[in-house]
Amino acid sequence: MTNRYDRRDILKGVGAVCAAHFLWPHDTEAPQQNPRQVAGRPVEVQIAPVSAHTFRLSVLPVESGQPQPVKRNGSLVQDSWGPTLARFTGGEPEHTVKSGELRVRLSSDPLQAVVENAKGDTVQQLTIDSETGAVSFLLGNSALLGLGEGGPQFDRRGSKDAMRSGQGSYQLGTHGGRVPIPWLIGTAGWALYFHQPFGTFDFTGPEGRFFPKDPASALPLDIFVVTSQEPRVLMSEYAKLTGHPELPPLWAFGYQQSHRTLDSHEGVLAEAKTFRDKKLPCDTLIYLGTGFCPSGWNSENGSFSWNKRVFPDPKQAINELHQEHFRVVLHSVILENDLRGTVRDPCNVTRFDKEQVSCAWDAHRKTFSLGVDGWWPDEGDPLNIEARLARNRMYWEGPQLERPNERPYALHRNGYAGMQRYASFLWSGDVYSTWETLKTHIPIAINTGLTGIPYWGTDIGGFVPTEEFTAELYLRWFQFGAFCTLFRCHGRAWKLRLPWGWNTGEIGPTEISGYNGSALPDPSELHNAQVEPICRKYLELRYRLMPYLYSAVREGALTGMPVMRGLWLHYPDDPEAVRRGDEYLWSRDLLVAPVVEKGATARRLYLPRGRWFDFWTNERVDGGREIDRLVDLETLPLFVREGAILPLGPVKQYVNEKVDAPLSITVYPGAHGEFLLYEDDGVSFDYRRGNWMGLQIEWNDAQRALAMRLAPGSRMRPPLRRSIEVKFGNLSKNVEFDGRPLEVHLS
């Protein structure tokens, strides 16, 4: 869990700058007699370094003899990463620029940049149309991934994408809302980030094409070009550009139950008590706003005035829910179609500019002060890029004005590149309850993660019920949700989103009018005793896996690696693994293959090379091939990589529950393995000041020995003596770790 690529890149980048000056002196004066024009304007092409693997290609309009700078849209973490290596106006002959490990050959007719690696192989070629500013680039024969949430899936080749944001952009019912982000990954070893301008992609031809909205908006053109055969490097470079994810609170990764139409104060508390009485793990209760349903937490859409019929004493209700160890999250809507600034900018109270972020946050503060734990900001489709990021940022920085050492939580429907810097969660919007939707959301999850958005999920069961909404679909979706970073149930006919809701004989409030194709389940579906115990099984598994999940979240904060990982990230040289969008890795060691077919009795899946262990049966299976895994209604196929070290905690009803049971560490033999188990208080920012524990675990397969030690820079957290159960096949050993190196022999 060290950001080793960044340190190496810094050193190589410094060398790259020096090397470039020898090839093409920085103060070279370009001839001005025939300046190159793009979209009817004279331009200057600039090459600037970012790292050994990344450079920046900028085509800037020239006005009054000076190139005009690129306007920031909030997605980049800084303005530049190094001085300009070369300037090119088009009147010069072809020149070669060295940037890090790359060589860039610039030519004027056509305006083109050919990117070569250290071996002299062409890895990318960008050609700029002088009339329109359109950019063409090489696609190759490998899969194209990324581009944000939604849109055509999985491999983007063969598609056109206007990159429209929001729920009205592309097949909402099955593909969900669109969060378009122009970060395109070529799995052959390159990636492009189109910082400016925003436009349309066309991948239907032999070359990729990017079209600005119109010639007037074609400039400036600002593209970051990344090359590496290592997928981890590509993800690290993107994090270098747009930011590393921030850590949300630990409870955000527990189960979240969303509520719609509320009947009374007593009803709200009864739902909470039922979770605890039934011992169904849950951390968070989310309440929708009135206007989106007949009776929500507030008085009307966009209001911060409480619905007194349901919450006659909001402070008392929140306190009672806190006493049951639930977090309270409220739905919120900002009705303005623009936002600007930050929460630290002064709010002009005399005219109360609602488009000023500080004024928008002020509207939340009284409600937040009652003890609200997080927010669910809805809508935002009309907002432009800057406004979307301003809203993401507001819900991260605003709560810290009131509680400076408490990590905020917010669940968004819209965002952009860089939203991960604000620990933003994202869900896929108002999807329909169909098997096709569930199937489509697996590749959507992968592409969303590959675009730097690590905290993502869906409305489990689908937002709009249809004739396909059955207990079976709900359970298969619930199983998938247990392996999304956001584990949350929500939707119309909301009582059926409760783990016990399919065995009450009642649907509850329906709210499905106005949706084409909506329908309610057959009454015969409402007496299904199987649902609750299967939900309990996956709720308990999610909480047992919390040490593994939280460690993966921390790794992502340091490296940019998502938790939900396409197989390509770890098996880039396996063509079958690269093309699989119907399964994914949950961090490094767990392979998840959700069941997405009605009535399935088997699930065909692909296991990459090496040997794998069936999580449920511990059967060892050879990889490098497809297999058919038999399934029943309660089985989601899970496989563990050989050499994996899998930490499992005890079953908890909420993440901070104190349970007197040891941590379990299971070793899956067959290869050397290592794992860094990360722990902090889960709430504060104290980990930034060194208050965290890292348990470095290494497995020596040849010696059958497991070594444990504190990771550098970390410290023991209470309890200072840890009981650990080490499992190896049928063998089990109990040990204690007190911060001193420990070795356990298993033979």
Q: 167-179 in b/e burial notation, b at 16+ Cβ within 10 A?
A: bebbbbbbbbbbb
Cα–Cα distance, 38 to 127 (Å, whole number): 12
Cα 361 to its chain centre, rounded Å, is 25
Q: What is the DSSP string of 7-61?
A: HHHHHHHHHHHHHHHHHS-TTPPPP-SS--EETTEEEEEEEEE-SSSEEEEEEEE
**In sequence order, which residues have a C-beta less than 8 Å from that of residue 127 and are 6 or more positions away?**
110, 111, 112, 135, 136, 137
172 close to 431: Cβ distance less than 8 angstroms: yes
Enter the pTM of the model: 0.94
Tokens of 15: 């060398």
- Mean pLDDT for the stretch of residues 89-109: 88
Q: What is the CA radius of gyration of the chain?
A: 26
For residue 355 the two structure tokens come to 């488009």
Q: Which two tokens stand for residue 329?
A: 């999250």
Confidence check: pLDDT of 426 > 70 = yes
549, 589 contact by CB (below 8 A): no
- For β-strands 111-116 and 102-107, DSSP reports them as antiparallel
Q: What is the DSSP string of 550-600?
A: HHHHHHHHHH---SEE-GGGT-TT-HHHHH--S-EEETTTEEE----STT-
pLDDT digits (tens, 9 = 90+) for 463-487: 999 999 999 999 999 999 999 999 9
pLDDT of residue 3: 42
- The domain spans of the chain are 4-229, 250-551, 561-641, 662-745
Which of 414, 390, 563 minimizes the C-alpha distance to 487? 563
**Mean pLDDT lowest for which of 235-249, 348-362, 676-690?**
348-362
Q: What is the 3-state secondary structure (H, E, C) of 326-347?
A: CEEEEEECCCCCCCECCCCCCC
Instruction: Map tokens 């340091």 to a residue.
Output: 558
Task: Report pLDDT digits (tens) over 433-466.
Answer: 999 999 999 999 999 999 999 999 999 999 999 9
Distance CA(163)–CA(500), nearest Å, equals 40
Angstrom distances, CA of residue 690 to CA of 415, 681, 711, 716, 741:
31, 12, 12, 11, 20
| Superfamily of segment(s) 4-229 | glycosyl hydrolase (family 31) (2.60.40.1760)
Other C-beta atoms closer than 10 Å to the C-beta of 83 total 11
Residue 203: CB atoms within 10 A of its CB come to: 19
pLDDT of residue 33: 52
More confident site: 497 or 4: 497
Residue 300 has a pLDDT of 93
Going by pLDDT thresholds of 50, 70 and 90, the confidence category of residue 19 is very low
Whether the CB-CB separation of 414 and 384 falls below 8 Å is answered with no
- Say if CB 727 and CB 647 are below 8 A apart: no
- Alpha-carbon distance of 623 to 156, in angstroms, equals 27
Given the structure tokens 């950001």, which residue do they identify? 3
Give whole-number Cα distances, 119 to 115, 234, 244, 365, 519, in Å: 11, 19, 31, 58, 60
The span from the CA of 565 to the CA of 180, in Å, is 19
Name the nearest CA neighbour of 177 among 150, 148, 147, 146: 150
pLDDT bin (cut points 50, 70, 90) of residue 109 is confident
Distance CA 420, CA 422 (A): 5
Pairing of strands 199-202, 207-212: antiparallel
pLDDT band at 406 (very low <50, low <70, confident <90, very high): very high
> CA–CA distance from 95 to each of 114, 363, 674 (Å)?
11, 56, 47
The class that CATH gives domain 561-641 is mainly beta
How do 620-622 and 645-648 pair as beta strands? unpaired
Task: Name the CATH topology of 662-745.
Answer: Immunoglobulin-like (2.60.40)
Task: Find how far residue 695's CA is from the centre of its chain.
Answer: 25
Token pair of 369 as six digits: 């002060």
pLDDT band of 34, cuts 50, 70, 90: low
Same fold? 561-641, 662-745: yes
Residue 6 has pLDDT above 50, yes or no: no
Report the pLDDT averaged over residues 650-677: 97
pLDDT tens, position by position, 76-97: 999 999 999 999 887 777 889 9
d(CA 421, CA 417): 9
CATH 3.20.20.80, domain 250-551, yes or no: yes
Percent of the chain with pLDDT over 70: 95
CB 179 within 8 A of CB 416: yes
pLDDT above 50 for 234:
yes
